[in-house]
Structure formats: C-alpha cells, structure tokens
Structure 1
Amino acid sequence: MWVQILCGLVIYKLFKRIFCGDDVLDIETSDSIAIFSVANRLEKLYGGKAHVGLRIPDPDTGSRQNIDIVLVTKGEAVVVSVKNFAGFVSINGDGSWVCEGQHGHRAQHYPDPVEEVKKQASVLESYLEQRGVALPEGYFSYKVILPNPKFCSIYSGNFPPEVITFEQWTLLKPEQKNMLSGWIKGAFSGGKKEMQESINQQLNFILGTAPIWDRLEIKGNKYVLGEFLEFKGKQEDTQALRSVKRSKVSRLVIQKTSMFGLAPSRLQVLYCPRDYRSEGMSTSEWKEVTVRSSTEVIFQPQDSSKVRKFKLSSILSMQLSA
C-alpha cells in the first residue's frame, strides 16, 4: 500500500512538472483570483467598470494604499475590499476580526476590515482631488465582501452594514443596488446628467492610469496580482526579452506558434512599448519576439511571501505598472 502511495506521489510530481512545470496549481485559491471573480460579478450585476488592484499613494504615510476594487457606475463609485476568509469568523469588541479554522491554521486575527476600506476610500478621494476631480458629497461608498463559500459565522447579524457576507453575496441581484451602495439618491437629478457623465469619464480615465499591481493572466481564467521580477531560461531567450522593462513596456501577450516534428515548443511574445504621451497604443506599434515556451516569469504575488515561477506556456498576458 505504501508503495502505491509513493508511486502516486511520484506520478503527481512528474505530471505537475511536465504539464504545469510551475506554480499555476498553487494559485487556485489565491486572493487574487477571488478579487477578479468579485470584480467580474459586480460588473455583470451593476454594469460600469471595475478597476482592480490599485496602489494609491498615501501622503500621510509615505506608502501606498492597496485597493482591491473600485466599481464606477452611473452616478456613484464603490470601494470594495475582498476578504477571502474561510472558517468561522467573529468580531471582537474593538472591531478586529478573528478567523478560526482557515486553511487548517490556528485562529488568525485581523484589523477591522471596515475601518481599512474606509481609510482606502479617503485616500482615494484625496488622490482624485489632486488629479483635478471634484466629487459630489456622498459619491463614494465602501463595502467589504466575503466571497469564500467556506466562510461561516454564528452571529452574522453582528457584522456592520458595510459587510456583505457570503450568503448575502450569493443572493445579490441587480435590483438590490442599495445593498452595495451608499449612494444618496437624486444627487444628479434634474439637469445634471452631463455633469454625471463627465465625472464618470474623468474617474474612469484617472483610475485607468493610476498605479496598480503588476498582473498575470493565466490559462483557465486565473489572475495573479503582484510584482514582476525577471525572466529565467536559456540565455538567448532572456536576451531576446531584455527590453521588457516596466519603464518601457506596458503589456505582453503570449501566442503559441505552430510546432513541427520534434522541434522545441516556442512562443511569440507581443509587447506594447509604453508611451506616456498617449492613452493607448495601436496594434501596429506592438513588437514581437519568439522564445522557448519553457522560459519562466519570476513573480512575487501580492498575497504571498513566496516568489513564484510561471512558464510562458501557461500565461496569456502580463500587464506591468509604470
């Protein structure tokens, strides 16, 4: 029996190395995937645009506030913090949270998520004011969403109204906008439709150009937020990719090339040079290099202390923050 178990483990390791060869299997339950899943559902429920993985400068601390999602819809914006908690969650008298049974670990203590997201909304408003966007009072609201199906709470009624538990999250419908929003109805009523549209356009543009986490799009509708570090592989491949630096490149798209016989699998890497003078780039300005599919992207995920390796063959695209 032990021989069968050991053989099974060896086969699994070989399968992972041959067909995955990287850390793709380790991100199945990552916070990044939960954040993008929530963002996609919010867009489907309420329309608008969800900006994900923002890193907004905070002049008070000299650091950056990490904001999971900012949802911009008609006449409002919601700052969303996604807490991928699993296990039993309770609230202490000081507002901090305790999560027991998460990933088989001991009880974990977390600062008050509502106060955290409130601070994020405040920092974001100040940042927008610095960039010339004056928002009406009450334009921003904030929410904490708990999307993990393994989330449990004995006293769910103790959670503040800004918290959307897993059960509430699954029951959300488009007409239940008041559960998500703190919007003051009628603020843009009357002849202020043009003002509303103008603010939405400005807001989406600024959030679309704000500092963000680097991000990987992995096959299987998976995303990883964090920091791109370097490429690793054969010298000729890393040399071909030497111009891919965040100061010069904003986005990479990976395309598979045809394979003949026993030739090594190769990939086309299309990258868009960064141009600070314009908002977008035309397709004619994309550059192309061809490298081995075994070339690796070394990446530091936002929610992990461990550096990860992802083969280019498992990546669809990579976006680099300026």
Structure 2
Amino acid sequence: MLKDDLSVSKTARRKGSEKLIDAKKGSHIRLKEREDLSIIQKKKRKTQSRRTELEKLYGGKAYVGLRIPDPDTGSRENIDIVLVTKGEAVVVSVKNFSGFVSVNGDGSWVSESEGRHKVEVHPDPVEEAKKRASILESYLEQRGVALPEGYISYKVMIPNPKFRMPLHLYNDVPWNWGALILICFTLTNECKGGCLSWWQKRDAESINQQLNFILSTAPIWDRLELKGSKFVLGEFIEFKGKQEDTQILRYIKRSKVSHLIIQKTSMFGLAPSRLQVLYSFRDYRSEGASTSEWNEVTVRSSTEVLFQPGNSNKVRKFKLSSILSMSLSA
C-alpha cells in the first residue's frame, strides 16, 4: 500500500513538473510571438516615418506596403515604398542593417554588430531593389502607362545610425538627415539628368496622374490597427468564434468591404461583453472606402481575427476586443 502511494506521489510530481515545463514552453512561445509582433509594429512605424520624410524632402506622393504581381512567378512582390515625383518614380527598399557591413563575392552583405560579434548574412539589397523596380515597371506597362527608359530608379534606405559601410560601395552621395542615412543607387548613371530633360519636353502632369491612380489602387497589405497605437501589416484570413457571430460577419469580405471599425457597445441593455463592428462597402469609383454609409453588427468580444503578418509564415489570432480598425486591400 505504501509503495502504491509512493508511486502515485512520484507520478503526480512528474506530471506536475511536465506541466510546469509545458507552461514554461508556452510562456516562451507567447514571449517569442510578442517579440515578433513588436518587430512588425516597429517596422511599420519606421516605414510610415520614412514615407513622411521622403515626401517632405523630395515632394510628390509616397505609397507604402505595395504587393505588386510578378508576371514571371505569379506571386506578389513586396515593395516598401514607391515615391512618385514629377521627374521619376523611385522604388525604396528599407533595411535596418546595423554595424559594419562588407560584401561577399556573391553580392550578399555581411553585417557585424559592434561589440556583440554577431554576424548576419543578407541577400544583396541592391539587387533586390533592382528586381522590384523591374517588376513595378512591368506592372505599370501592363496597366497602360508608357514610361520613358530610365524613368524608374531604385534606392536602398538604411536608417539605422549604427550602420557602417566602406566608402567605395557608395554609388551616389549619401544624404544625411541627422542620424538617418540614405544610400542611393540609380538604375542608370544618367537617370536623374535624363529624366528631368525628358520631362521638360513632355506633359509630365498627365502621366503623373496615371501613376498616382494606378498605385493608389495597386494591391497592398491588409492593415490592423491595435490599441496602443500599434499597427500590423499582413493578410486577413477570416473571423473565428461562435457560429452565430461568424454568420453575422460573413458579409465582411475584401471584395465587398474596405474598412471596419471596432468599438464598445453603447446601447442600453447590451452586455459589455459585446462589440459593435462598423464596416463600409468598397467604392470602386474612388480611392478607398465609401464613408457615406456605415453598416453595423454586434458580436461577442471573444470573437477572433485570423491574420498572417507580412514577414511571418505563421497565422496569428487577435482578439476583436484588442483591435481598433482593419483595412482590407482589394
């Protein structure tokens, strides 16, 4: 009898320790997910900040988070920023490299963090930006815009003040914005002068209007706005929750809806565990949503949104109660 009690006690302790280990693993996974989300949110804020700085510095209009179809692979290529001015369209690739950077024989970049001896290898960002510029050019031509040769250029923006690079790798004079460093690589050496002289002879305004219309309607990432001024770019998958709630939300599809807002119920008699979802139907006659009419449904606050962040292969779950708004790409 005593042996049986000891055996049961050992089994209980073992199961207890296993639960503790599982709990620690779960905690570690949740911590890793929070870190991944934090990185996504920081990148989003930095990219939006870079867009504002580019518009102020060069004028024109900047488009962020484009997903341009690649005619060769059928997949979509992610472009951080496209800056459209009267003289050119610039594909800007934003990289947060830090430390001293060298270049391997195959073109890849190797960054070594100062003091940490942490070495990271990155694909050639210049070639990446060049490829994206080529894909954008093909996309614009497919949409009916005839571009002059050399009109599209590409740049690699490295805003990290801890970035260090050998001077012989600069193809253009870098601009310093305080602690920010912008390294410029143009598609052709004559691009700037050639574009400007060509545009002096043509009606640049007409093509500019075409470009702005096409880029404003080009595919982009879906966007979640979370509480605490946090944003996540990625792809909306679906709603999860009670069947009653998912049935109510079944009309919210990207083909029909462009924007929705989540807010607490204010109607008398409704439990605080329910949320109002306001959504507007997509207006294809103009850019974005039609704000003339908002539709409203009420669902449980436990309803979840399945969303895949742009730089992750994992689908994340977000409580509807943690979301302020969601924008859906067409």
TM over 0.5: yes
Which residue does the alignment assign to 1:125?
Answer: 137
Q: Cα distance, 1:74 vs. partner? A: 2.9
Q: Once the 2 structures are TM-superposed, how far is the Cα of residue 105 of structure 1 from its aligned partner?
A: 10
| Kept after mapping to 1: 8 A contact 2:173/2:184 | no
Instruction: Supply the distance in 2 between the matched residues of 1:100 and 1:179 (Cα, whole angstroms).
Output: 22
TM-score, normalised relative to structure 1: 0.77
Please, what TM-score do these two structures have when normalized by structure 2? 0.75
Aligned to 1:5: none
Counterpart in the other structure of 1:305: 313
Q: Which amino acid aligns with 1:125?
A: E
In 2, Cα distance between the equivalents of 1:38 and 1:249? 29
Q: How does 1:147-166 map to 2 (within 5 A)?
A: 147-149=159-161, 151-153=162-164, 155-161=165-171
Deviation readout 1:177-209 (Å, 9 max, x if unpaired): x9698533333226x4xx211111110110111
- Taking the aligned partners of 2:301 and 2:192, their CA distance within structure 1 comes to 49
Match of 1:63 among 55, 58, 75: 75
> How has the CA–CA distance of structure 1 residues 44 and 266 changed in structure 2, closer, same or farther, with 3 Å as cutoff?
farther
Cα distance in structure 2, aligned partners of 1:116 and 1:44 = 26
Displacement after TM superposition at 1:262 (Å): 10
Three-state SS of the structure 1 residue aligned to 2:321 is helix
Distance in 1 separating the partners of 2:179 and 2:117: 29
- The answer to whether 1:186 aligns with 2:194 is no
| TM-aligned CA distance change 1:235 to 1:70, over 3 Å | same
Give the Cα separation in 1 of the matches to 2:94 and 2:233.
13
Tell me the matched-pair count.
Answer: 296
Q: Matches of residues 12-27 of structure 1 in structure 2 within 5 Å? A: 26-27=36-37
Any residues of structure 2 matched to 1:248-259 within 5 Å, and which? Answer: 248-258=256-266
Give identity over the alignment, percent: 69
Deviations 1:63-117 (A, max 9, x none): 2222111111233221011112344432213321123459x89633222110111
- The structure having more radius of gyration, on CA atoms, is 2
Secondary structure at 1:41 match in 2: helix
Which residue, 182, 204, 208 being the options, matches 1:196?
A: 204
Give yes or no for contact 1:145–1:169 (8 Å, CA) kept in 2: no
Distance 2:120 2:179 in 1: 28
Question: Is there any run of 5+ residues in structure 2 with no aligned partner, and where?
Answer: 1-23
Change (3 A) 1:253 1:106: same
**Mapped pair 1:93 → 2:138:** no
Kept in 2, the 8 Å contact 1:252–1:272? The answer is: yes
The amino acid that maps onto 2:239 is F
Alignment of 1:75-86 (within 5 A): 75-86=87-98
Contact 2:155 / 2:184 at 8 angstroms: preserved in 1? no
Cα separation, 2, equivalents of 1:252 and 1:53: 19
1:28 corresponds, among 12, 28, 38, to 38
Q: Structure 1 residues 84 and 260 mapped into 2: Cα distance closer, same or farther (>3 Å)?
A: farther
The answer as to whether partners of 2:93 and 2:156 remain within 8 angstroms in 1 is yes
Which segments of 5 or more consecutive residues in structure 1 lack a partner in the other structure? 1-9, 18-22
Between the aligned partners of 2:36 and 2:267, the Cα distance in structure 1 is: 29
Matches within 5 A, 1:210-225: 210-225=218-233
Q: Give the direction of change, closer, same or farther, for the CA distance of 1:276–1:148 in structure 2 (3 Å limit).
A: same
